[in-house]
Amino acid sequence: MEDADLILRRRRDNGKVAQRNFRTRQAEKASELKQNYEQLKRIVETIVLAHGEHDQAKLNDAIAQAGQATGLEVVERCALSTSPKASIVVAKRPGLVHGSAVAASAQPTTRDIYRESFYQPRSGRFSPRLGYGIWLEPERFLKILDPPLDILPYVGAGKYTVAGRIAWASLDYGYACLQEAMIARATNTIPKDDWIASLPPESAARRAFDRSLRHSKPLHDVAYMMDLVEARIEFREQGYMRGNTRGGDEVSRQVMQGSVAHDLRARRVRMDQWWTALDIEAHLQAVMGVDDFSALQIALCSQEADQAQMFMPLARSLGHNGVCFGDGPRWHAPSVKALVSAWLDQISVLGVW
């Protein structure tokens, strides 16, 4: 038992280190993107203003800076001249895209006249400053591609298995109840941190809170639980989670899970009596027999509509009775056995299995 605990602790520590390193790389990349953006914005702004001021020397310098920033070699002709005939040639460096010649024409064309009128210095909302109307938030586009540990067995093909369908039925139901809880809190005058008082006694949200979250204080932050479930549903649907949400922070979730586990140990809760979806799957296999269970599993993984419809009453019943332990939903073993037995009796009577 000690070896198993040591292995589990080591895995958690490795997971924390990996997540910490991943977030560090994300932050560094976001910082680099933001710095590059700010640099390019300043250069382009300088070019626009220099053109509007008809300052050829300043324009040449700005274009040279732009060339350096983008990896293009800029060769100036008559660099010290302020004559409109001065020109700049952008040459290609090895391995880079072809440059193009930018030359000032002695005789203005219709296009030149249009450009000059458009780029005249302005103020207010039509100012050529690039800061106006441009928004950048690099962190918004960062994605976490590795699934959280608590849903790892239930993503990809795993979401169609017996265990996967049970786990997601519970998370989907929990998400609906948490949404109701958030709405209830937003529409009453009860203090925002008093979740129990803010939920109507007979509401589905209150029943779900009492059954799934109330048993351990670290789970009482309903807004955080909402973020966690929402992030997991996002991963199921999109194949990634946004990196700038609380629900995507795996280290914080593991810290919460540890707090719940400590609380349960202090109250001497027998964890062997609380089954995960994988434990329920193993129990169902033991009750049905290997052959019948394998046929059911194959049918569900193949997404056969008839078999999925036959299995949904059990998945839905279990989904409405899941209890959160910080590492996903769990179910009290005696209740699971009763629900599985009732479901098997039902499909036997109906002759569908």
DSSP letter for each residue of 73-122: EEEEESTT--STT-EEEEEPPTTS----EEE--SS--HHHHHHHHHTS--
333: enclosing H helix or E strand:
helix 333-350
226, 298: one domain: yes
Identify the domain boundary among 78, 105, 140: 140
Q: Which has the closest alpha carbon to 218: 182, 180, 254, 169?
A: 254
222, 311: one domain: yes
159, 304: one domain: yes
235, 221: one domain: yes
Spatial neighbors of 191 by CB under 8 A, at least 6 apart, are 197
- pTM strictly above 0.85: no
Cα 218 to Cα 208: distance, rounded to the nearest angstrom = 16
Whole domain around residue 92: which residue ranges? 34-140
284, 162 contact by CB (below 8 A)? yes
73, 201: one domain: no
pLDDT score, position 225? 94
CA 283 from centroid of its chain's CA atoms: 33
38, 166: one domain: no
288, 204: one domain: yes
Residue 309 maps to a domain: yes
3 state SS of 254: helix
124, 209: one domain: no
Q: Return the half-sphere exposure (C-beta side, CA atoms, 13 A cut-off) of residue 173.
A: 23
Q: Look at the block and give the residue holding tokens 């019948």.
A: 292
Residue 24 maps to a domain: no
155, 281: one domain: yes
List b or e across 199-238, with b for residues whose CB sees 16 or more CB atoms inside 10 angstroms: beeeeebbebbeebbbbbebbebbebbbbbbbbbbbbbee
3 state SS of 144: strand
150, 116: one domain: no
272, 224 contact by CB (below 8 A)? no
Dmax over CA atoms of the chain, in Å, equals 96
Q: What is the pLDDT of residues 88-111, one digit of tens each?
A: 444 444 433 333 333 444 444 444
DSSP label at residue 273: G
Spatial neighbors of 20 by CB under 8 A, at least 6 apart, are 251
Residue 15 maps to a domain: no
Q: Return the half-sphere exposure (C-beta side, CA atoms, 13 A cut-off) of residue 144.
A: 27
Here the tokens at position 161 are 């298995």
Cα 101 to Cα 167: distance, rounded to the nearest angstrom = 62
pLDDT score, position 195? 62
DSSP label at residue 147: P
pLDDT score, position 78? 39
The type of residue at 75 is V
195, 183 contact by CB (below 8 A)? no
164, 153 contact by CB (below 8 A)? yes
Q: Which has the closest alpha carbon to 276: 322, 334, 210, 339?
A: 322
pLDDT score, position 83? 44
The type of residue at 183 is I
Please identify every stretch of the chain with a pLDDT value under 50, giving residue numbers as ranges: 75-137, 139-140
329, 204: one domain: yes
Which residues share a beta bridge with 101? 89
pLDDT score, position 46? 77
pLDDT score, position 227? 94
Side by side, the strands of the sheet bearing 101-103 are 73-77, 87-91, 101-103
